[in-house]
Amino acid sequence: MQMRNNNKENDLESRIDYGIIFSVMMLAIIGLMSIYVATIHDSQNPLKNVVSQIIWYAIGAVIVAVVMQFDAEQLWQVANYAFYAGLALLLLVLIFYSRSYEAQTGAKSWFALGPLTFQPSEVMKPAYILMMGKVITVHNSEYQVHTLKNDFLLLGKLLLWTAPVIILLKLQNDFGTLLVFIAILGGMVLVSGIDWRIIGTVFGVIVVVGGLALMFAATDWGRPILMQLGFKSYQFARIDTWLNPSQDTTEDGYQIWQNMKAIGSGQLFGKGFNVSNVYVPVRESDMIFSVIAENFGFIGSCVLILLYFLLIYQMVQITFDTKNEFYAYVSTGVIMMILFHVFENIGMSVGLLPLTGIPLPFISQGGSALLGNMIGIGLVMSMRFHHKSYMFENGSFKQR
């Protein structure tokens, strides 16, 4: 009897991916240290911010443990409900958004209840990933032979399901989060089996349109045209700051200029923990990378990027190991979500990309983004936890 219990315990331990847990824990420790450094120089009560983030991590850990219990069949069943609930939240926030946050950021993206705030688009990301995984799996089951007609049909279905999300985020004026959803969609399209001729054509169109938009935004004659299409003055200011960060270091370009100064001042090994001589506005959230670079320098920044690489590598490995098509698409979506956040946040911090309000995963202060990422981690860990092999056939899962 005891031997059976030991076998069950050993089997359970082998199904838990401790490598992912280690990577997330290390990122959490770095995040808490960075939030403390960022707020101790700018806030009256830095411990309050750290304790608040610890509470969010604890809630996130519980969520990971709960999501891990869902196998492929159960995730399949909740995908629609989660997606529609997410759409409802995105719609409700347009009515009951925080007026103070809208005044600060220009986006109608947050609910506020006293000191607590919540951004529904963050938890919508894993719900969207589940729904896209389901749409691709159903389509590929119905059309097992890939033709241009069938692939265009799949692309149309994905765009149709994505359209309401994009419209609601556009109404919220949250362009940064909208880019994350586009990145998730792009990653899932790449692994969906759609013909490379279609993918190449779409990619080419995006590059041409993006290049033309950038050219118009960088010229005086082109900006009035873009403004008629809905572009805002602050977006042009961000493009100006990105193309020439030293042109205006006191107003629109102040934050990014101070951020780059802080990163550069860290040099190779950094100034040491809790040494911060360069003021960066709101560095505890979107600009948290500047704290790490200033304190621990280029070497510390590389260690952080290496931790992200380790986390992504482990999730990619799980994706290849899984024998479930639906799981593979979901894992790809989660990987793209985290990867794009890291790429965009660090890219904008060092001046390679335009400034957007995208946090650094597991590092930046904020509960909503952390919960969204932790749900994603739970989805990926459930793949190894439920090691049974499924195949999707006739509208339902069957164990191989």
Q: Is the dihedral of CA 217, 219, 223, 225 positive or negative?
A: negative
Is residue 238 pLDDT above 90, yes or no? no
Which DSSP letter does residue 267 get?
A: T
DSSP-derived 3-state class of residue 107: coil
Radius of gyration of the chain (CA): 22
pLDDT of residue 210: 84
pLDDT of residue 115: 75
**Cα–Cα dist 210/216, whole Å:** 10
pLDDT of residue 398: 60
pLDDT tier, 23 (very low <50, low <70, confident <90, very high otherwise): very high
In sequence order, the 6+-apart residues with CB closer than 8 A to the CB of 8 are none
Most confident of 152-161, 196-205, 219-228: 152-161
pLDDT of residue 56: 94
Phi, psi values for residue 118, rounded to 5°: -145, 130
In sequence order, the 6+-apart residues with CB closer than 8 A to the CB of 98 are 110, 111, 112, 117
pLDDT tier, 14 (very low <50, low <70, confident <90, very high otherwise): low
Contact 35, 284 (CB under 8 A): yes
pLDDT tier, 296 (very low <50, low <70, confident <90, very high otherwise): very high
Contact 389, 400 (CB under 8 A): yes
Model confidence pLDDT, tens digit, residues 107-133: 889 888 777 789 999 999 999 999 999
pLDDT of residue 393: 62
pLDDT of residue 332: 95
Model confidence pLDDT, tens digit, residues 45-88: 778 889 999 999 999 999 999 999 998 889 999 999 999 999 99
Short-list 83, 30, 79, 93, CA closest to 57: 30
* The residue type at 338: I
pLDDT of residue 394: 60
The answer to which of 84-88, 114-118, 315-319, 390-394 has the lowest mean pLDDT is 390-394
H/E run at residue 133: helix 120-142
pLDDT tier, 400 (very low <50, low <70, confident <90, very high otherwise): low
For residue 97, CA distances in Å to 50, 84, 119, 377 come to 26, 19, 9, 28
Q: How many CA atoms lie within 13 A of 334 on its CB side?
A: 31
Model confidence pLDDT, tens digit, residues 193-205: 899 999 999 899 9
Model confidence pLDDT, tens digit, residues 321-380: 887 889 999 999 999 999 999 999 999 998 888 888 889 999 999 889 999 999 999 999
pLDDT tier, 268 (very low <50, low <70, confident <90, very high otherwise): very high
pLDDT of residue 231: 76
The mean pLDDT of the chain is: 87
**Cα–Cα dist 295/149, whole Å:** 54
pLDDT tier, 391 (very low <50, low <70, confident <90, very high otherwise): low
Contact 338, 363 (CB under 8 A): no
Contact 350, 32 (CB under 8 A): no
* The residue type at 308: Y
**Helix/strand/coil (H, E, C) string of 4-69?**
HHHHHHHHHHHCCCHHHHHHHHHHHHHHHHHHHHHHHCCCCCHHHHHHHHHHHHHHHHHHHHHHHC
H/E run at residue 202: helix 196-217
Is residue 1 pLDDT above 50, yes or no? no
Opening angle at CA 388, ends 125 and 385, nearest 5:
55
pLDDT of residue 75: 92
Which DSSP letter does residue 94 get?
A: T
Is residue 3 pLDDT above 60, yes or no? no
Is residue 387 pLDDT above 70, yes or no? no
Contact 376, 339 (CB under 8 A): no
